[in-house]
Structure 1
């Protein structure tokens, strides 16, 4: 589903530049991979590059999609084809941000349905209904984001991220604002949705205990002078 080779991203310039390097990454459909590392190691930077929000300075291969129908993202990046890259982001990627990122002037229901509406998809979705039920959001659907707790907003953001049934889910510390019980329920939901919908997912997380409990494979940060290398970890 996701195949990347020799991705290099640079933050800053000159002596202050820091490089984030990903030699290789392959994730199949229905699989979830955790990205771990110390604070400031470049986990979010890597996620932004994979999410097409940050252009790499080097890239050998970047393909997304099912076998036989993969899109050559590296070619789009090389040609700086911004309309095509925007189309990939809106249709094939789902984002869960640390801040939630909900639109304050829309209800919870409308925040969740917005990605589907923008893509001309049907408003009805069994996946969305299941996610709303598991995360106990039924009683919050008509509220505005400002009337929700931080944890409630994050749960809504998770449902919104999968509402349009993307190919790849990118989550940046999705459980950071949740209590342990809600964090576990959220991870259970993500694993269930990734499996049932055949998504691929990358989840940045500092919750080592939770990752260990769920047995998630990890892409870990190896930091050295001026560079962070992300490699598979046992």
Structure 2
């Protein structure tokens, strides 16, 4: 479970500064929460702060608890941030977080198979994984494994990016507008597969999206943005 209380992150200085505030957030295993709001309101900033790419200026609590026993010890990420323990924070990012970017972010000189295996290789994990095999099958990528990214359609690249993001079995998946470059049919299909993947693999996921119709159709709970001068507040929305 991801548990956050009183997170505040700031971008810019002086009159140009903009704050993004998250009073509270809890998301459990197998759950997906959408982050919504107008363009430029700070959705990606919030995702980057949760993904430990931006340091908050205020934070009361940020923990990530592995699934399994109710007595599992939470990872006290807030303490690591307070101590500015960069090696430990880097280890949390690489081991426990998975990222899906708008662009896919695949390495063009690697095959699909090697792109997917890269996070496991970097962490010294066995390259073969039934967890990954199930994801490849769910996203119908078996026939693409020997191809390079430039030989794929945009939708195919995003599907590969989804599998690569969960290949190292993270606790939390963070997706920034994963369907932004897709046509409506492809966007719906990718979203459906992504939700299925999160459920079957027992992940937690936060998805930034501007596609209101898609989110409504899938009935996802969401964090919505309320913007005022110099600050955006993200709160649960009905």
TM over 0.5: yes
* Structure 2 counterpart of 1:23: 23
Separation in 2, partners of 1:205, 1:92: 22
Separation in 1, partners of 2:183, 2:130: 27
Tell me if structure 1 keeps the 8 A contact 2:138–2:197: no
Shift of 1:222: 0.4
Answer with 109-118 or 144-153: which moved more.
144-153
TM-score in terms of structure 2 length: 0.95
Separation in 2, partners of 1:39, 1:118: 34
| Number of residue pairs matched by the alignment | 234
> 4+ residue stretches of structure 1 with deviation over 6 A?
none
Shift of 1:226: 0.3
Tell me if structure 1 keeps the 8 A contact 2:99–2:174: yes
Shift of 1:70: 0.6
Is 1:106 paired with 2:114? no
Deviations 1:58-83 (A, max 9, x none): 00000011353211001101111110
Answer with 117-126 or 13-22: which moved more.
117-126
TM-score in terms of structure 1 length: 0.96
Shift of 1:123: 2.0
Tell me if structure 2 keeps the 8 A contact 1:135–1:185: no
Tell me if structure 2 keeps the 8 A contact 1:34–1:203: yes
* Structure 1 counterpart of 2:143: 139
Separation in 1, partners of 2:196, 2:14: 44
Gaps of 5+ in 2: none
Gaps of 5+ in 1: none
RMSD (CA atoms): 1.2
